Amino acid sequence: MQPCSREMQAMNSLLSPTQQIPLQDLQPNGNSGTHQAQIHNPQFDPTSSHDDFLDQMLSTLPSCSWSDLKSPWDPPKSDETPPSNHDNNVGFHYDEILASKLRQHQINGGGGGTTAAMKMMMQQQMMLPGRPIAAAGGGGLTMPLHNDIVDGSSFKSPNQQGGEGSVQALYNGFGAGSLHGTNNQSPNQPQHFHHPQGGNMQTQSFGATAGTVMNQSQASGSTTGGAPAQPKQRVRARRGQATDPHSIAERLRRERIAERMKALQELVPNANKTDKASMLDEIIDYVKFLQLQVKVLSMSRLGGAAAVAPLVADMPSEGGDCVQTTAGGGGSLQRNSNGNQPSANNDSLTVTEHQVAKLMEEDMGSAMQYLQGKGLCLMPISLATAISTATCHSRNPMINKGSSSNHPLLQSNGDGPSSPSMSVLTVQSATMGNGGLDGSAKDAASVSKP
């Protein structure tokens, strides 16, 4: 029941007779906090070094037992005798003495105890057997003891040990509840408690909980709220981060997608769009455009000479239209030269084609503008077929035959009066064709009348 009896005895032996404490009264429970018999504190050296000294000491301690130590005793600073609210354990007189001394030291700055001595004493305390808390709390608890001892020079090391044992007993009972004790203290004392506690906590992590608690208490001025808040703080995720595995996975996925989008942005020109949807649109258009370019180039490679005279229709169509209609080759690119170039000059057309291809690489819009400037445009074969049949001009049906359509269209285009009508028709059918070919409204909107 009293594991610290040994220490108590030793302590008792050294204490003044008046301070003899019946061992049986010792209770290593939380009541320890309440035990505050009259305490003889013959050796009080009120100094005024205050908190900085204490912080120094405390920073070396591996525990935050401060609060525990402090909590049971809340006599006012000026009071050298601990309040009698802790009368349960008479045997803890010397504990109280020590505690009060500690308090005194805290209040007064603790005099000039050497940290080395403190550490030594701490270690001694730490070595006390059977006290898991000793490591954690003993250090802190012993600190005041050391203070007392060093300053008071009245206690010898055995006393310290004994005191430490008792203090540990006290401390054992404290647990988290000891924190509450701090609230009971006078306003002056909490400051001291919190201050050293804060110093402790910052350097130590007493169970990692007390530290946070202490810090919290410092901030809030109340340690009670710290203990329950600690677990909450632990569990509650930081803003923007979730602890839920699903949301974490979701976040990872989103991040990866954002990464890819950024990479794509560099590849695709006109990638200044911040909107994901528009960015995707841009990417899609670009892919279509590149595929179209491959087709165009493969066409032009057919000798670049008389074999293929590129035909350009009047309808500026997005590359997507042509691609849509291809579906594996159905729609090759056709270019119908308009009245601007009455003679189907293959070379010039080829040059134009290359120009267009070059422009298309940079900017589809500029390519279209270039074509329009020349009175040309791109058009899918099916559309050209529809146009040719619709205009009732006698020409060979253009069914996936790139070059065959050249001549008939050229012939028809050569007609001055017919070209405007055809162009109009082209636009109209293009509008319809667009709707039929590609359901997206934007393509229809892009059709422009020459």
Partner 1 sequence: MMNTPQQVKNPSSSLKSRFITRFLGALTKITAEDPISSSSPTRIFQRYRRIKVASNKSMAYSVRSRRIWSRAMLSRFRSRRSAFSGRRSSVKTTNCTTSPPPALIKVTINEKKTAKGGLDMQTDELRELVPGGEAMDVCNLLDETAHYIKCLTTQVQVMRKIVDFYHLSK
The site for partner 1 (CB under 8 A) is made up of 250, 253, 256-257, 260-261, 263-264, 267-269, 276-277, 280-281, 283-284, 286-288, 290-291, 293-295, 297-308, 329, 332, 350, 354, 357-358, 361-362, 400-404
Shortest Cβ distance from residue 208 to partner 1 (Å)?
37
Please identify, using beta-carbon distances, which residue of 308 and 422 lies nearer to partner 1: 308
Best CA proximity match to 146, nearest among 241, 239, 258, 61: 61
Cβ–Cβ < 8 Å for 404, 290: no
Cβ–Cβ < 8 Å for 233, 209: no
Shortest Cβ distance from residue 311 to partner 1 (Å)?
12
Shortest Cβ distance from residue 368 to partner 1 (Å)?
18
Please identify, using beta-carbon distances, which residue of 227 and 323 lies nearer to partner 1: 323
Side chain identity, residue 373: G
Shortest Cβ distance from residue 355 to partner 1 (Å)?
11
SS3 state at 385: helix
Shortest Cβ distance from residue 404 to partner 1 (Å)?
4
Shortest Cβ distance from residue 316 to partner 1 (Å)?
21
What is the crossing angle of helices 93-108 and 157-174, to 10°? Answer: 90
Cβ–Cβ < 8 Å for 289, 364: yes
Cβ–Cβ < 8 Å for 43, 199: no
Distance CA 228, CA 231 (A): 6
What one-character-per-residue DSSP string does 126-177 give? HT-TT-HHIIIIIHHHHHHHHHIIIII----HHHHHHHHHHHHHHHHHHTTH
Please identify, using beta-carbon distances, which residue of 259 and 415 lies nearer to partner 1: 259
Cβ–Cβ < 8 Å for 103, 144: yes
User: Considering just the CA atoms, what is the radius of gyration of the chain in Å?
Assistant: 46
Please identify, using beta-carbon distances, which residue of 115 and 270 lies nearer to partner 1: 270
Please identify, using beta-carbon distances, which residue of 52 and 362 lies nearer to partner 1: 362
Please identify, using beta-carbon distances, which residue of 275 and 394 lies nearer to partner 1: 275
Please identify, using beta-carbon distances, which residue of 127 and 306 lies nearer to partner 1: 306
What one-character-per-residue DSSP string does 76-129 give? -SS--SPPTT--S-GGGHHHHHHHHHHHHHHHHT-TT--HHHHHHHHHHHHT-T
Shortest Cβ distance from residue 403 to partner 1 (Å)?
4
